[in-house]
Amino acid sequence: MSDFDDCLIRVADALAETARQETLRCFRSEALGVDNKSGHGFDPVTAADRAAEAAMREILSSERPDDGVLGEEFGPVPGRSGLTWVLDPIDGTRGYLSGTPTWGVLIAACNETGPIYGVIDQPYIGERFRGGLGRAEMTGPRGTRALHCRAPRPLDEAVLYTTFPEIGTRAEAQAFQALSSHVRLTRYGMDCYAYALLALGQIDLVVEAGLHAYDICAPIAVVTAAGGIVTDWQGNPAHHGGQVIAAANTEIHARALAFLNATG
């Protein structure tokens, strides 16, 4: 491993540890400080979201001052190195403020082609999923485990996840339902943890719409390192967000894309 790779891995772990501390400090407490970022509907942000991202940015300004930063809660910082850190301090804020344990911290190091290294960290569960730079592993209470996506299987034996039942636009929802009607099991929720389950070999597909770069860059790194594939619904790179399909292998990816594009 090069010194550069080692540095990125070390910094990403430092970011995850700091965010873990900040997010657990307020979890299931009365100190959430929930605000609504949306003028219509409900798009929550908590004091922990802001504190975690601020703490991560402080580390980056010290350890990687020439790198850019793109985060959910604060403005982008342009860089000079060609590397940008993409941060989501709490992916799954709705679950976080509800007390569910499967929200996570997302960290990705990206170059001009997309993510080269990513971390999905689950602070409350104590699991950390790493992908890229020669790594595809989960560390947690039971030790370290290699990440491997599932082998190909028929679509009618597949497990599909998405975060919201009312996925995207009406057309996107119809396309998702067309796919959902042909799989064995569809489940909802989990936010970034669904991508972790995909990399762990537990499920076959995650399909979403309306994502931002900070929602998907880290999952792309982890899933692809585990042997999976992540694209938009047309099969193109997905690191800018929008419509996303993450699949355990190219075979089930192609089958799922056919349904998504048949109606939407």
List, for residues 224-249, the tens digit of each pLDDT value: 999 999 999 999 999 999 999 999 99
Distance CA(210)–CA(224), nearest Å, equals: 21
Residue 38 confidence (pLDDT) above 90: no
Residue 63 marked ligand-binding: no
The model's pTM is 0.96
List, for residues 107-130, the tens digit of each pLDDT value: 999 999 999 999 999 999 999 999
Distance CA(11)–CA(165), nearest Å, equals: 36
Distance CA(208)–CA(163), nearest Å, equals: 7
* All structural domains of the chain: 3-146 (3.30.540.10), 155-263 (3.40.190.80)
Q: How buried is 78 (Cβ within 10 angstroms: 0-12 exposed, 13-18 middle, 19+ buried)?
A: exposed
- pLDDT bucket at 41, cuts 50 / 70 / 90: confident
Distance CA(94)–CA(43), nearest Å, equals: 8
Q: Which helix (H) or strand (E) holds 153?
A: none
Residue 88 marked ligand-binding: yes
Residue 9 marked ligand-binding: no
Q: Tokens 């970022």 belong to which residue?
A: 37
